[in-house]
A and B are shown apart, each in its own frame.
Chain A
Amino acid sequence: MINLRLAALAGSITLALASPALSAEFGKPVMMQAVAVKTARQSNPLLYKLWSDLINKNEEHFASTGHSNPPESILFNEYSSAGRTILVSTIFLNQFCDAGPNSATSTALYASCPLRVAVVSGAEIQTVKNAKACFLDARPGSVLDLDPPPTGPDPKTTGTYSNLVTKGNSIAISTLQSGHAQPECAVTVPF
């Protein structure tokens, strides 16, 4: 009975406010969802709005070079807590990501990209914290163009994760590559 009540309570607080997607679970690392930048414009206007400045600069750049945009993607999780939504997201745009070293000994699959943690009330973004994150997504169709298993990483345990720590009002970002933590990718952003 108690378990059922707890489950119902958890269900009520994990219902996302900003998008139709369910909020990520609290207190443990959850792999970020992926959405193409172009798709986000329709499916998650708030997420698109969060990144609109960089997306627009990126568009202007490619308009000036005449090159067509390469695949671009956003990773994100949403948390709903105490009447507000916490949106954590990293974006893969060529103009703003560091692809990493050109090196035979490098084993890193991720790119270093901008990270934003936004506090949202209603449809308004109230605060935004900026940082850098390791952008990693091995699911089919990923912008990173990784090999599928067995030569490539396991998509189920490869990605960028977020963990909402409600007690400290912070988000912990981590990255796993086939289940192995990438220590250099760990970052905590207070909000």
Chain B
Amino acid sequence: MRNSLVLSPRRLAPFAMLIILIVTGISAGAFASVFPGSTQASPCDVSNAFANTSDPYLNAHAQDFAAMSHFVEDPNGQTGTFNGSCCTGLMQINTGNLRNPDICGCTRAEYGAMSPQQQIDVYAKYVNVSFANDPSVQTLKNMQANGQTLGGHQVDTETVIACMQMGTGNCAAAIKNGCSSTTLGQGGDNHVNVCTMGDKARLAMQNNPNTFANCSNAVCANNGPGDFPTTTGLASNAPTADQANIVVSPSQV
């Protein structure tokens, strides 16, 4: 009686934990790890990095890209995050893309040790190299402008970013099949597709409206002089002549 097998919840707990680990490990394909030299980046850091790129679209939508990073790709904000199979860093760039010398010409370990700004600069190159001659992004931007949906999913900046994340082949397929598949090569990565990835980022942004509220960088929100945060107005805060870059005399106005 003493040696009989009694399956108490207490005894089962370790096995249950093991099963959970195995199942989650299998579903994710592999276990994530962090490369040496990794840097911690806050959502604001990532947003700032996008705001500092030379790409106008990435610059204008810095917080949307940072949301994709923070809520979908790399919630821990580690530049060295490797998903155990293909993808590394704040935007989980594919190893094959990293090896491309037009994009990075680096290994994933080298990329994982880069600073947040360096990683996002590489991402900007990826976007420019991959989508320079691909119509998918423009197609989605047009759909967004026209208020169209794709397979019943909202099309907005998050969808465009998900398109960039999934790559040209997948994005074109998703547009063609209306996001009806998550299969790799048919719009997805076997788990999410262009539309559901965009949905995930959008919903997380809606549920966490304060994530970027305290970011010092305000490039996203400030598109003109009137947008800069001031309680008294720009004219009353005008710099003195010796502080200004351009000085205009009354007769020149």
Contact = CB atoms under 8 A, between A and B. Distances in A.
Contact of A68 (B83, B94, B101, B108): B101
Contacts of A42: none
Q: Which of B86, B101, B168, B192 has the most CB of A within 10 A?
A: B86
B96 A97 contact: yes
Nearest to B72: A104
B168 A98 contact: yes
B99 A145 contact: yes
A181 interface: no
B56 interface: no
Interface residues of B, number: 47
A191 interface: no
Nearest to B33: A151
Nearest to A65: B102
Interface in A54-89: 62, 65, 67-71
B92 A102 contact: yes
A151 B30 contact: yes
Contact of A102 (B31, B91, B186): B91
Interface in B149-202: 164-170, 183-186, 188-192, 197
Contact of B100 (A70, A103, A105): A70
A16 interface: no
Given A107-B28, A144-B95, A99 B100 contact: yes
B95 A184 contact: no
Given A105-B192, A145-B95, A94 B102 contact: yes
Q: Which of B28, B87, B188, B197 has the most CB of A within 10 A?
A: B87
B83 A99 contact: no
- Nearest first, the 5 closest Cβ-Cβ pairs linking A and B are A107-B29, A99-B96, A67-B101, A106-B189, A105-B191
Interface of A: 62, 65, 67-71, 94, 97-109, 111-112, 143-145, 151, 184
Given A103-B73, A106-B191, A151-B30, 16 more contacts: A62-B101, A65-B102, A68-B101, A94-B96, A99-B94, A101-B189, A103-B191, A104-B72, A105-B28, A106-B85, A106-B86, A106-B190, A107-B28, A112-B169, A143-B99, A151-B84
Interface of B: 28-33, 72-74, 81, 83-87, 91-97, 99-102, 105, 107-108, 126, 164-170, 183-186, 188-192, 197
